[in-house]
Structure formats: structure tokens, C-alpha cells
Chains A and B, each alone.
Chain A
Amino acid sequence: MTNRNRILSSTAERAYWLGRYLERADSTARLVRVNSRLLYDLPKRLPLAWQGLVNITGSRELFDELFDEPSEKNVARYLINDARNPGSLIQSLDNARENVRTLRGIIPRGSVEYINEAHLYAKEQLSEPLSRSRRAEGLDEIQSFIQRIEGFMSANMLHDAHWTFLRLGNFIERADMTSRILEVGCEDIFEAASELEPFNDIQWRSVLLSLDATQSYNQVVQGPVSQEAVLEFLVHNTQLPRSLAYSLKSLRNSVRDLPRNEKVLRVINRLRRQTGALVVEKLDIEGIETFLDDFQGELASIDTEINRTYFQYKPRRRPRT
């Protein structure tokens, strides 16, 4: 009787961005939460350590414009509840909320309610300056909101193309975040610290923590934390949900479910080949940094291709009859 349900480009696009903003909110909360614990150990004379968190979000210029120094207080405020930072936790939740408003009827009600609640909670409870314990508690709560939001979606929503686009948004954002965290791992902001005995592996421990990957690392690598082993693990391991290889594999699998996917698949597979060909032990830090730069550029190409194929294509030109 009725036509089968079509997926509008506009709602697919909003699902995609919902996926991106939720993932971004989650990784921002994790970044601040886990690194705080690590950074508390550092001697006070190493304020630059907090700078690393800003660098991961790729918005150092904006931060420098808004604040005089990368103190704990400033960085936490900037990343958590500063509306002037478009990548802050509060802005990601706000954007997620805006996107979900027009996805009512597609996203399960439970998820919608938790998105609204998470936003409200962040606005009311995560207003910096906060004590370290309040901040940690609040970020924990945000992450648990996001777990519930995603849990509802995973268990209750139709796993149709909207779901696929939501996941695409998740994986693109996740791959992007992992590559940024690795990039900052390669920077030398911890240099001063690493000369001190208890901190010599701190930058790579921080990288693992930022991705909640310490436990998995210990299971798989079964050795000390080293630059090479961490890079190898986070780039190539196909079982770790936040590794580059895993995100790319998931991207490809999701796109396979979509119609008209040839061009998008081509760009994804190109990046998979490039990533697979990376031999960590043969490269110096600069080589790794170049690879990560290129990787982010390629992710942007995937995003562009998704956009061009599914969201913003132009009316076809028909031959005149």
C-alpha cells in the first residue's frame, strides 16, 4: 500500500552530525577526566602539560586568544563549558541536542531525553571553576549519560540508514580524535618531565589513558609502555575500538550498507591501504607526524565525499525532450 520508508538526505545528515557530536562530547569528557588524574602527579613547574589537551582539539589559536596561560583552571573551562569554544563539551552537547530535535520519531525517546538531560546537567553542574573532585564526578556523569544515550539507540532504534549515518559520524570523529591524540603524543611538551625518573613514559601513558586503552594495551602488548609499541597498537590493532584500523574497518562496513557507495568506499579503502602500509618502526617522529597529518586530511576527504554523495548533491540535469 504505502511506499517503503525513504531516508531523506537532511535527516541522514543530522543523524551523521548527531553521531559526530556525541562522540566528540564523549572524547572531550574522557580527555579531561583521565588526563587530570595523570597531570596531578606532575610537578607544579610543568604548566605546559595542560597545553597538550588544548592542542589535541586543534584549537590552540583560539585558546591563546581567550586565555593568558594554559593553567588547569583555564584549560578545563575552555574544554568543558566555554561557549566560545565550538569544540567544548557543552557546545557538542548543545549541537547534539539541536540535531536530535529534528530527529524525533527516528531517535528513541529515551535517547532524546538523556541528551536533553546531559546538556542540562553540563550547564548546571559543570560550571567551572570546579573542585577537582566535582569536576571528575561531573565528567563521569556525562560519560555515563552518553553511554545510556548510545545504549538506547543501539538497542531500540531501527538499524536503518539513519543508524548507519549515526555510526559513520561516530567513527569519523573517533578516528579523527585518535589521530590527534597520537599527534600530540609525538609533540615534546612532556620533554621536561620525561627527563625525571618517574615520568619518563608519561606522554605515551597519557595517550593510552586518553583513549581508555591502557587495560587493552596491557592485555595485548604485555610489555612496558613505549612509543613504538603504543603507536603500533593504536594504529594497527583491529580489535581495539578506538584504533585507527578499527575505525576505518567499521567505516567501511557501515558504508557497505548504503546505496550509491562506490565513491565513498573508494576513498575509505585508499586510506585503509595507506594506514595498513605504515611501518611504525621504520619511521622517525617526523614521519609519523606527516602520516597523521595526511590521515586527518584523508578523513576530511571521506567527510566531503559522504556529503557530496548523500547530503548536498545537485539536481540532475535531464536531457531536453
Chain B
Amino acid sequence: MTIDWRAYETHGFWDELITANGRARKGAGNLTRMLAELSDEELAARRTAAELAIRSMGITFTVYTGEGSGSIDREWPFDIIPRLIMKKEWDTVSEGLAQRVKALNRFINDIYHDQKIFDDDVLPREYIENSKEFREECRGISPPEGVWSHVCGSDLVRDADGQMYVLEDNLRVPSGVSYMLENREVMKRVFPELFEDYVIHPVDDYPNQLAACLRSLSPKRSPQIAVLTPGIFNSAYYEHAYLANAMAAQLVEGSDLVVDKDDKVYMRTIEGFVQVDVIYRRIDDLFMDPEVFHPDSALGVPGLMRAWRAGNVALANAPGCGVADDKVIYTYVPDIIRYYLNEEPLLPNVPSYRCVDKEERDYVLDNLDKLVVKPANESGGYGMLIGPKASKAERDKFARQILANPRNYMAQPMLLLSTAPTLVDAPNQPGGIAEGRHLDLRPFILSGKKTYVTTGGLTRVALRKGSTVVNSSQGGGSKDTWVVDLE
């Protein structure tokens, strides 16, 4: 048996490759035809080849196995059927992302300086004063180019009507970009012939772009760049090492760095201390400097904030940028874009309800069984209520939480996330069968002297049937993302 697209069901969702009447979507014909031509054995062989490539390339992610028992490295779950996006659509999305991040950076800079946006009544002041991610210590600091979030990962989803929405912006320490790069490498090994049929835009420029972005943050001609990682037990350590290596930057842990009396940052090398000019930090704000934040943090560098404030080191992303990462602030992003850029947003937000507003809160409480409720400051899909799938008891518990702290919640209608054909195991068919699985897309946006948006991004797939949770820690996998030009 081979893949039979006529038997493929889209179940009323928007499918990225196949239309509701079972035809290949525009541009996907070559791909679906080639897949259908593969015998079950060939398909199985490609899947095995992908698994082998992932193993031999050592592409892993770390899963915590619980208190005390530490963590294990798992191989990256990968589906060999790529997701396609037409170049024309991508150009619009990409422009929208650049616009969004530009406005968000202006917003953060304003929050830590004049706070004009409050004076102009676009956003209530107390939202920021109550935000967990607001850092008083950052007030009055002017990072280079006025940029706070140098690396942003925004999550995009497509609803049943085919429209792409921004689901959230990750402005602090978004991860996943190394998997975007590795996915492409794996695909080139597994399906080299497809790269003959398609004009697929390359993704491998990212490390160079990131390095250029980081360099632009220092006045020096060739600044010393370091990637600061919490260490091997962090779930994204693989990525930290990957990026440091690809950028020819130094991978360091907090214990490798010292801030001396001159308020400069040095790394301990066998030649003695060497000054570090730019730090791409992959640890959370609160762990960065025990002198200022968590005093017992062993991951950070005492004095780092001092060095940053003195302008002796650039930190990417800047501390405090999470203030715009807040899910309630998210609901204001369209207003933020209009306010700072005087432009209409190119990419829509998912319509959202703010629980802090009495009318909207009442609507949310009356419709908990239809809505997704999100806390303001969680990531990775934690702490959410998925109303239609929750029990009455869970909904009641959330209702109480919302009433107790309305500022901390927002709600959105349950989106019908788009799907793409994904190979799933089937009895007596080693190659598996193609079934629709829900997915999202995380592009990465770099902001320094210039702005850069990745070509496509990381497509994450919820591998469990019917699930919309795409996080790798919770049963998610990924697919290569092809931005293609039709000739």
C-alpha cells in the first residue's frame, strides 16, 4: 500500500497540502504525487533514513524526567512530509512580523523611558506596574539602537478560513531555531530529489544573520561574542551549542564569566581573562545576575547588570523585554502598532478577551466551555484552560482564578488549527499512513541595526491525534517548512 490521497480526510480543518475535496493545494502537486508514487517499503526506508540522520547528527532535545532523576536526551521527533508555504504569502507574513517586532521594541523602550503610551491612554499604566516581567532595574537604560528584543519567536497559526494569525510573541529567550536548520539538513538527506523539483528558499543563512545582528550591538569592529547557556541540563542546550558553533562564538556558562571592578565582563580562558562585548543570553532575566535578581542563582554572573548599565556589554535579549511578552499586553499589540508606527497591522491577532475588563470578563466566564484561557506569563503551553476539552470542575477552578486575579488572564476562541499530512504508524504498513495533524509555525525575527525574518520557520506538529499541543515536551514533533516559488 502507498499513500492514497483520495482517502485523506481533512475533517473540516484547513489542510496545508490538501483541499477539502482531496486535491493537492496550489504548489503541493509535485510533492503529493511523489509521495504517492513511493511504495510502502520505500516510504519506510525514508522514515528510517530520517531517524538515522537525526541520530547520527545527534539532534536531541532534553526531557526532564522528574525531581531527582534528572533528564534524558531524546532524539528529535520529525515527520518527513514537509509543510509548504507559497513565497507570495510568506512575503506578506514576513513584512507583518517585522512591523510587529519593530513596534514591540519601540513599546519596550517607551516603557523603560518616558511611558508616553500611558499618558496617551492607549494602555492602562497599572498593566505594566502589575506585570511580573517589568524590571524596575531597567528604567532609563538605552540599549544600542533602542532594541530590547533582538531575537523574537512569534507563533503563527492558521484558522479554518485559511487566515494566518499571531498566537503569541516570545520576546525573551525563544528556542527552536536550530531545529529549523537541522530539519532542512535532514530533508536534504532523505528527499534529495525533491530539491530538484522545487525552488525552496534556503534557511541556512540564519546563524550568519544572528552573528551580524549581535555584532551590530557593539561599537567594536570585531567584538567578542558569547552565548550564555544555563548548561547541559537545560532543555535547549543542544541549540545553544549549535548556534555558538555555527556563529563561531564562545559557548559559556555563568561560571566562565567574571565582572571585574572596571564593570567589564571577562571570560576565563587559558590565556587569562578576555573581555566579552556581546552576550546572547539564553537564561532567564531573574537568573542572570545574583547581585540584582535571585541572590542564590548559580547560573548567572554577579555584576552583569552593572556591566550592562555601564554600556560595557550588550545583552541580547535585553533584560526586562519580557514585559511585552505578557499575554494581556498581547491583546494590545494592534493598538501598539498603530500608536508607534502609525500603520495598520499587517498580521491579525487572534481575537482576544481581557478578563480585567468587566464586560469581557463576564463574557469569558459565561463561555468558558468554548474558550481557551491563558495566564499572562506562562510559556510552553502550561497553565492554560482549553475550555471545550476541560471538565466542569476544571472550568469552575479557572473561573475562581480569573475572579481572584483578572489581570492575569485573557481568553481566545478555540481556533481550528490547520493540519498537514503526517505519517503515523499503521498495522502491517511499515511506511505508515498519512493523517492530518495540527500544527503551528514559529518564525524568528532578528532586530539589531537591521531586521531579518527567517524564511519560514519551525513548524511544530502535535503528533497525537486531535491534539493541538505542539510543544516537544508534550508530545510535539516537527516538519521541515518550505517557502517555495512557483515557476
Q: Which residues of A contact B (CB under 8 A)?
A: 1-3, 5-10, 12, 101-102, 104-105, 109, 161, 165, 258-260, 310, 313, 315-318, 320
Contacts and interface: CB of A to CB of B under 8 A. Distances in A.
B270 A318 contact: no
Contact of B270 (A7, A102, A109): A7
A6 B266 contact: no
A316 B268 contact: no
Contacts of A316: 260, 272-273
Q: Is the contact region of chain B dominated by helix, strand, or loop, or is it mixed?
A: mixed
A47 B165 CA distance: 78
A310 B273 CA distance: 10
B271 A315 contact: no
B251 A105 contact: yes
B274 interface: yes
Q: Give the size range of B's interface with the partner.
A: 20 to 34
B52 interface: no
Closest A-B pairs by Cβ, 10 of them: A9-B268, A6-B269, A310-B270, A2-B248, A259-B271, A7-B270, A315-B258, A105-B245, A12-B270, A3-B224
A102 B232 contact: yes
B58 interface: yes
Given A1-B222, A161-B270, A318 B248 contact: no
B313 to A, nearest CB: 15
B325 interface: no
Contacts of B252: 8
Contacts of B89: none
A3 B268 CA distance: 16
Nearest to B248: A2
Contacts of A165: 270
Given A2-B211, A2-B247, A104-B58, 12 more contacts: A2-B249, A3-B222, A6-B271, A7-B270, A7-B271, A102-B232, A105-B241, A105-B245, A161-B270, A260-B272, A313-B272, A315-B273
Interface in B241-261: 241, 244-245, 247-253, 255-256, 258, 260-261
B368 interface: no
B253 A10 contact: yes
B267 interface: yes
A287 B261 CA distance: 52
Contact of B262 (A3, A101, A318): A318
B248 A109 contact: no
A316 B262 CA distance: 11
A101 B248 CA distance: 19
B342 to A, nearest CB: 38
B232 A259 contact: no
Contact of A104 (B241, B258, B260, B267): B241
A5 B248 contact: yes
A9 B222 contact: no
B250 A318 contact: no
Nearest to B220: A3
Interface string B455-487: 000000000000000000000000000000000
Contacts of A109: 56, 58
A101 B232 contact: yes
B227 to A, nearest CB: 11
A105 B251 CA distance: 10
Contacts of A259: 270-271
Interface in B189-227: 211, 222-225
A42 B173 CA distance: 66
B306 to A, nearest CB: 14
B250 A8 contact: yes
A9 B269 contact: yes
Contacts of B211: 2
A5 B251 CA distance: 11
Contacts of A317: 261
Nearest to A7: B270
Interface in B233-247: 241, 244-245, 247
A9 B270 contact: yes
B274 A6 contact: yes
Contacts of B250: 6, 8
Contacts of B231: 102
Given A2-B222, A3-B224, A315-B258, A10 B58 contact: no
A10 B241 contact: no
A8 B271 contact: no
A105 B272 CA distance: 22
A96 B126 CA distance: 54
A315 B258 CA distance: 7
B402 to A, nearest CB: 44
B268 A313 contact: yes
Contacts of B260: 315-316, 318
A59 B222 CA distance: 52
A109 B250 CA distance: 19
A146 to B, nearest CB: 21
A255 B132 CA distance: 51
B122 to A, nearest CB: 42
Contacts of A1: 222
B267 A318 contact: no
12 contacts: A2-B247, A3-B224, A8-B269, A10-B268, A104-B241, A105-B244, A105-B245, A105-B251, A260-B271, A315-B266, A316-B260, A316-B272
